[in-house]
A = this chain, B = another copy of it.
Amino acid sequence: MRHIGAMSDAALWAALADPHRRAVVALLRTGPRTVGEIARACELSQPSASKHLKVLREAGLVRVRQEAQRRVHTLDPAPLAALDAWLAPYRKLWGESLDALGRRLDAAPDTAEPTPKD
């Protein structure tokens, strides 16, 4: 039984509950970034960015590698599979009740959108 990225569900939800952290995650979807880049892009102070990244790391959503003096952070989407699994039992439900809405929301373009912001 490998429990590599199997952080507690609670940590994952808590990490994603914060809009800033969701923004960071969305940013990292477009590629690895240093702390400074993340701070600037998400309009966070440097310490704030550091702290948010720590939470994301502890939730298993982000990995870090050192590169000279910089710390390059990379998204690890694996824990999000837990969200997907949580969602699974509900997915059929809204298909039944809200067909049109579901279809509209399912439109997922292949290109990253310019900062979904949320």
Contacts and interface: CB of A to CB of B under 8 A. Distances in A.
Contacts of A13: 16-17, 19, 22
Main secondary structure of the interface of A (DSSP, over half): helix
Interface residues of A, number: 41
A68 interface: no
Interface string A99-110: 001100110100
A16 B90 CA distance: 14
A4 B101 contact: yes
Contact of A80 (B3, B17, B94): B94
A101 B84 contact: no
B85 A108 contact: yes
Given A4-B116, A17-B13, A83-B83, A78 B106 contact: no
Interface of A: 2-5, 9-10, 13-14, 16-17, 19, 22, 29, 75-78, 80-91, 93-94, 97-98, 101-102, 105-106, 108, 112, 116, 118
